[in-house]
A and B are shown apart, each in its own frame.
Chain A
């Protein structure tokens, strides 16, 4: 993606060393090793969920690495008059800081942004991944979830980093609790009463609804309020479903993972695979993209997808355990934190 100028000699040097036995990489990794991935959730104070991710930072506060910040923000949308959808919707956007691609002009930067946005948006906002709790009032109000990903530095493999950060931010997202409210005359008017009956056949027509009964309110309510509660809300549904992406860099004989920028520039073919691993279900392939001037036979593609699933599963498990750790770290009670100081 990042267009680095690399001479033919350099390219062939990298290619031959990758194909040597044993394969050699500049940073001493094996072909299927990832660089160190650093993750922290809850970094943006004004967002509903956020995560900062770095792939391949130099140790001891050195710079470098691919650095990505993802954050989600919820907005209320009107379904009837606005452009909201019943049950909520998700919009993703990727922004690249000019410091990530200092050699690109602003037009070229826009193109990179657009490309990354399309991949992320089409994958994340797909029907099969849609969370259940983004609706507020049926046919009236719903949440719009904005997922913004910012690329601060690109040292290769930016798409895997974006997907990991997006998954972490969505995992971290809390949807505010809402309570439907409605103003009613003392005696329910015949119009609303019959409307209730049509929907809910369990209700006897003779019974007047108690003012305290809010069970069916959500169907008829005109508006909602945000109850004051001790936490920021419930977690966004479908935590386990958000996909992870692995990029297989395909050389004629074999493939490798987590390419650095020079390696990316000298590899003819890249295969992006996004897998989702819902609990108690077989995994789903959510997105596939083949980039580059190289070519691939169909049977090869099949084995690559099977391999990709294996790597994605490992990545998914590692990310999951890190996210659970982060949850624990951030939910330590203030009193315990103070005691341990």
Chain B
């Protein structure tokens, strides 16, 4: 079935009508869920991920804590009805553990863990719907959720997936494209211009890698502006809700943030 669908047709359109470098629509919802300290539901097209952040708080087991920094605990749950075919994955499933490990290693250098010694930060990821770009959605949602929990971050981490069709790089792959193309997921911190994650599960020609990588880094910056817009909208709404007395200072804060980001922008 998939062999008959053209990944990129002669007119330069992909199977879902996007252009080569076009991202799927991004939706970021930061409204609180349950008792979580920070929460975000991020969807990239039909892929939807919800992340709840608890902490920094006292660890359940005292032995797990570190005396000079916070410990990250990432748990991923994939809902059985999120994919086309129903499949139950336990908590100890390999793919899930791998996903959790890559989220953890992505955020360990970004979260300023030394500010929260002897504490634990729990990140609970639930995958609501998957249509390609799962790791990318998980990382973006985690970034926003951490920000909404008020945890000190060096920067928002922005991830995007890329693939190569023939000699053409494509961005933000859907499940259909992901099955057919060599793909790479790149996570960057746009302010410092650093890359925190690159994963490649399939084979990709070394000459092509550079181009995909550069495009993905550029796309990461686009996602960064989207995230910042969402975080700022949410924050200004909260500041407004706090009442007229604090309104002035709140706006100043937002202004200062704009200036800072302009200085740091590429």
Write the residues of chain A forming the contact surface with B, with a CB cutoff of 8 angstroms.
Answer: 44-47, 50, 61-65, 67, 69, 71-73, 75, 93, 95, 97-100, 102-103, 105-106, 146, 148, 150, 152-155
CA–CA, A61 and B238, complex, Å: 11
Instruction: Determine whether the beta carbon of A152 is less than 8 Å from that of B81.
Output: no
CA–CA, A61 and B30, complex, Å: 10
Interface presence of B82 (CB below 8 A): yes
Given contacts A73-B86, A93-B80, A150-B126, A99 and B46 within 8 Å (CB-CB): no
**Chain A residues within 8 Å of B60, by CB:** 103, 105
Instruction: Determine whether the beta carbon of A44 is less than 8 Å from that of B81.
Output: yes
Interface presence of B33 (CB below 8 A): yes
Interface presence of B96 (CB below 8 A): no
- Tell me which of A103, A106, A146 contacts B80 (CB under 8 A): A146
Instruction: Determine whether the beta carbon of B77 is less than 8 Å from that of A44.
Output: no
Interface presence of B35 (CB below 8 A): yes
CA–CA, A146 and B80, complex, Å: 9
Question: What 16 new A-B contacts, CB under 8 Å, besides A50-B81, A93-B88?
Answer: A44-B128, A45-B129, A46-B84, A65-B34, A69-B128, A95-B80, A97-B124, A98-B77, A98-B122, A98-B124, A99-B36, A102-B35, A103-B60, A106-B91, A148-B80, A152-B33
Nearest CB to that of B79 among chain A residues?
A150
Given contacts A44-B128, A47-B81, A106-B91, A62 and B54 within 8 Å (CB-CB): no
**Chain B residues within 8 Å of A65, by CB:** 34
- Tell me which of B33, B54, B83 contacts A63 (CB under 8 A): B33
Write the residues of chain B forming the contact surface with A, with a CB cutoff of 8 angstroms.
Answer: 31-36, 39, 46, 50, 52, 54, 60, 75, 77, 79-84, 86, 88, 91, 122, 124, 126, 128-129
Given contacts A98-B77, A106-B91, A148-B81, A61 and B31 within 8 Å (CB-CB): yes
- Tell me which of B31, B84, B86, B124 contacts A99 (CB under 8 A): B124
**Chain B residues within 8 Å of A93, by CB:** 80, 88
Instruction: Output the least CB separation between B52 and chain A (Å).
Output: 4
CA–CA, A71 and B129, complex, Å: 12
- Tell me which of A47, A63, A71, A95 contacts B77 (CB under 8 A): A95
Instruction: Determine whether the beta carbon of B124 is less than 8 Å from that of A45.
Output: no
**Chain B residues within 8 Å of A61, by CB:** 31-32
Instruction: Name the residue in B34, B50, B91 with the highest tally of chain A Cβ atoms < 10 Å from its Cβ.
Output: B34
Instruction: Determine whether the beta carbon of A97 is less than 8 Å from that of B81.
Output: no
Instruction: Determine whether the beta carbon of A98 is less than 8 Å from that of B34.
Output: no
Instruction: Determine whether the beta carbon of B83 is less than 8 Å from that of A67.
Output: no
Pull 28 A–B residue pairs with CB atoms less than 8 Å apart, ordered by A.
A44-B79, A44-B129, A45-B46, A46-B83, A47-B81, A61-B31, A62-B32, A63-B32, A63-B35, A64-B35, A67-B34, A69-B79, A71-B79, A73-B81, A97-B52, A98-B75, A99-B33, A99-B34, A102-B35, A102-B122, A103-B60, A106-B91, A146-B80, A146-B81, A146-B86, A148-B79, A150-B79, A153-B33
**Chain A residues within 8 Å of B77, by CB:** 95, 97-98
Instruction: Name the residue in A98, A106, A155 with the highest tally of chain B Cβ atoms < 10 Å from its Cβ.
Output: A98
Instruction: Output the least CB separation between B176 and chain A (Å).
Output: 14
Instruction: Determine whether the beta carbon of A155 is less than 8 Å from that of B34.
Output: yes
- Tell me which of A47, A64, A148 contacts B34 (CB under 8 A): A64
- Tell me which of B79, B86, B91 contacts A75 (CB under 8 A): B86
CA–CA, A152 and B39, complex, Å: 12
CA–CA, A50 and B129, complex, Å: 13
**Chain B residues within 8 Å of A95, by CB:** 77, 79-80
**Chain B residues within 8 Å of A47, by CB:** 81
Instruction: Output the least CB separation between A273 and chain B (Å).
Output: 27
CA–CA, A75 and B129, complex, Å: 18
Nearest CB to that of A104 among chain B residues?
B60
**Chain A residues within 8 Å of B83, by CB:** 46
CA–CA, A102 and B120, complex, Å: 12
CA–CA, A150 and B126, complex, Å: 10
**Chain B residues within 8 Å of A103, by CB:** 60
Instruction: Name the residue in A62, A71, A102 with the highest tally of chain B Cβ atoms < 10 Å from its Cβ.
Output: A102
Instruction: Name the residue in B50, B77, B81 with the highest tally of chain A Cβ atoms < 10 Å from its Cβ.
Output: B81
CA–CA, A56 and B84, complex, Å: 32
- Tell me which of A71, A99, A146 contacts B52 (CB under 8 A): A99
Instruction: Determine whether the beta carbon of B81 is less than 8 Å from that of A46.
Output: yes
Instruction: Determine whether the beta carbon of B126 is less than 8 Å from that of A97.
Output: yes
**Chain B residues within 8 Å of A106, by CB:** 91
CA–CA, A155 and B34, complex, Å: 8
What are the 3 tightest A-B residue pairs by CB atom distance, in nearest-first order?
Answer: A153-B34, A63-B32, A99-B52
Nearest CB to that of B61 among chain A residues?
A105
Instruction: Determine whether the beta carbon of B86 is less than 8 Å from that of A63.
Output: no
Instruction: Output the least CB separation between A117 and chain B (Å).
Output: 12
**Chain B residues within 8 Å of A69, by CB:** 79, 128
CA–CA, A97 and B124, complex, Å: 8
Instruction: Output the least CB separation between B42 and chain A (Å).
Output: 16
CA–CA, A208 and B54, complex, Å: 72
Instruction: Output the least CB separation between B21 and chain A (Å).
Output: 25
- Tell me which of B33, B91, B129 contacts A67 (CB under 8 A): B33
- Tell me which of A46, A150, A152 contacts B129 (CB under 8 A): A46
**Chain B residues within 8 Å of A44, by CB:** 79, 81-82, 128-129
